[in-house]
Structure 1
């Protein structure tokens, strides 16, 4: 299973999102994370709308997603941009 598939599966299981978009931005940071054993995804943008975020602050939402992806950070995920919203909240996307 690819790293992207693992991430999507974990986020779907934990947050039951109405909308989930994973955008691999690793190519935009070529050379930034220059290790011979670099993972397939080093920089990722996550756009997620989930009822689990209702009543949570932006920081709490980010912490929840970061905690969910702890194994991927341990495996070399280097940077994560999170755009999280509850249903009905405006999004830029």
Structure 2
């Protein structure tokens, strides 16, 4: 996955999820522009994201456990920089 067109926060999200989960597929989508004027949007972008992650680490885990794994990997960013995060977490084959 190329990070050339991604901002620094999206790139950091990708790096942290790769390190924590070794995903076979990952997409980090910056949804910030669609939240312009809403709470948490400060005009600088990179505040609202959707992550789609497919990882073997999710096998046998329920939705809440999967979301906790993603949130744990991104904990500092969620406090410091990311206002909203939508998570789509699946195990391979799902």
User: Residues 35 and 48 of structure 2 are in contact (CA less than 8 Å); yes or no, is this contact kept in structure 1?
Assistant: yes
Query: What value does the CA root-mean-square deviation take over the aligned residues?
Result: 1.6
TM-score normalised by the chain length of structure 1? 0.86
> Shift in Å at residue 64 of structure 1?
0.8
What is aligned with 2:80? 75
> Shift in Å at residue 7 of structure 1?
0.7
Unmatched 5+ residue regions in structure 2?
1-6
What is aligned with 1:61? 66
Which of structure 1's runs of 4+ aligned residues deviate more than 2 A?
Answer: none
Q: Note if 1:22 corresponds to 2:28.
A: yes
Unmatched 5+ residue regions in structure 1?
none
Paired with 2:41 and 2:11, the residues of 1 have a C-alpha distance of 23
Secondary structure at 1:21 match in 2: strand
Q: Which of 6, 9, 16 pairs up with 1:3?
A: 9
What is aligned with 1:46? 51
Aligned length: 87
> Shift in Å at residue 76 of structure 1?
2.5
> Shift in Å at residue 40 of structure 1?
3.6
> Shift in Å at residue 34 of structure 1?
4.4
Say if 1:13 and 1:39 are closer, same or farther in 2 by CA, change over 3 A. farther
TM-score normalised by the chain length of structure 2? 0.85
